[in-house]
Amino acid sequence: MQQPQLSSQGLTPSSASSAVDEFGEVRECQIAAERPLTLYLDKRELVTLMTLGSHPELLTLGYLRNQGLIRDLEQIRAVQVDWEVESAVVSTRSGVDDLEQRLSRRTVTTGCGQGTVFGDIMGELDQLRLPRATMSQSEIYRLLGQLSDHNEVYRRAGAVHGCALCDREDILVFVEDVGRHNAVDAIAGHMWLENTQGADKIFYTTGRLTSEMVIKVAQMGIPVLLSRSGITQMGLDIARQVGVTLIARAKGRHFLVFNGAEHIVFDAAPMRPAGASHQTRRGSPAS
């Protein structure tokens, strides 16, 4: 497969600043970077994304793929990022069919850092059906334990979301950005470049599971979506439609399975308060 030419213009995701604390003392700290990046496709302006700027080329590729604007990576000749003019310029080999028609249909979403999707993405959901994937309770606990060590920008500066591509054993890719949709798009770009298949993967996000998040993960072919935050009704409806196992409020040893509970193997012993009788069952009074 012919790979596109990519610039390498990732920036540091945080910067030094100072603030006055609750005692009136000046403290040195880090704050999250936030930079506009305007995407151009064959000289046609598409959108301006607010981003940390740490993975601009992958963000651009993933955005094009998840928006359905380009289906084949070989169509892309190059992605060139220039921060002096805050732009990512994408050139294709032979243009994009029906580009104006696709761009004419816009849906305003709840996404932070983006907020618009193009084209008839909702109509395309009818063609999406994900493979079944079984996951155990103990595997969820293990991944959550590993993920807590990856939020580097959040620990330093806050104000960001993190997303991760995982298998059952390891965190394969972890990306932080101002918006969770930027982070998922950067991972989608990475998967596209590496020809990584999603059928045996798990996707994690710190953000809420809205319809757009579920759609993007489904487009990447990933059957399990895990979040430390909550869900929306439309996110749940779409997960049921395409077969995404939806796990939310996941933190520590707690999680809620909103869709696909039949694919979870509950293999970990329940936590019991100190001194509780082993004969006490959940929902039954202790004797």
Look at 22 and 72; give whichever has higher pLDDT.
72
Asked if residues 230 and 209 have their Cβ atoms less than 8 Å apart, the reply is yes
Q: What is the pLDDT of residues 159-207, one digit of tens each?
A: 578 899 999 889 999 998 988 889 999 999 999 999 999 999 999 999 9
Kindly compute the dihedral angle of the four CA atoms of residues 204, 172, 143, 111, in this order, to the nearest 10 degrees.
-10
Say which residues have a Cβ less than 8 Å from residue 166's Cβ, sequence separation at least 6.
143, 147, 172, 201, 202, 203, 204
Query: Can you give the residue ranges of every domain in the chain?
Result: 5-119, 135-265
Mean of all residue pLDDT scores within the chain: 86
**Computed from CA positions of residues 278, 284, 286, 287, in that sequence, does the dihedral angle turn out positive or negative?**
negative
Asked if residues 92 and 143 have their Cβ atoms less than 8 Å apart, the reply is no
What fold is seen in the domain 5-119?
Ubiquitin-like (UB roll) (3.10.20)
Q: Which structure tokens are listed for 88?
A: 């990512």
Superfamily of domain 135-265: Cytidine Deaminase, domain 2 (3.40.140.10)
- For residue 92, pLDDT over 50 is answered with yes
Position 284 scores a pLDDT of 40
Q: Do domains 5-119 and 135-265 have the same CATH topology?
A: no
Position 269 scores a pLDDT of 72
Output DSSP code: residue 4: P
Q: Is 127 helix (H, G, I), strand (E, B) or coil?
A: helix
Banded pLDDT at 138 (limits 50, 70, 90): very high
Measured CA to CA, the distance from residue 227 to residue 216 in angstroms comes to 14
- For residue 281, pLDDT over 50 is answered with no
Q: What is the pLDDT of residues 105-122, one digit of tens each?
A: 655 444 444 444 545 566
Measured CA to CA, the distance from residue 86 to residue 92 in angstroms comes to 20
Q: What is the pTM of this model?
A: 0.84
Q: What is the pLDDT of residues 232-279, one digit of tens each?
A: 999 999 999 999 999 999 998 999 999 999 999 999 876 655 555 444
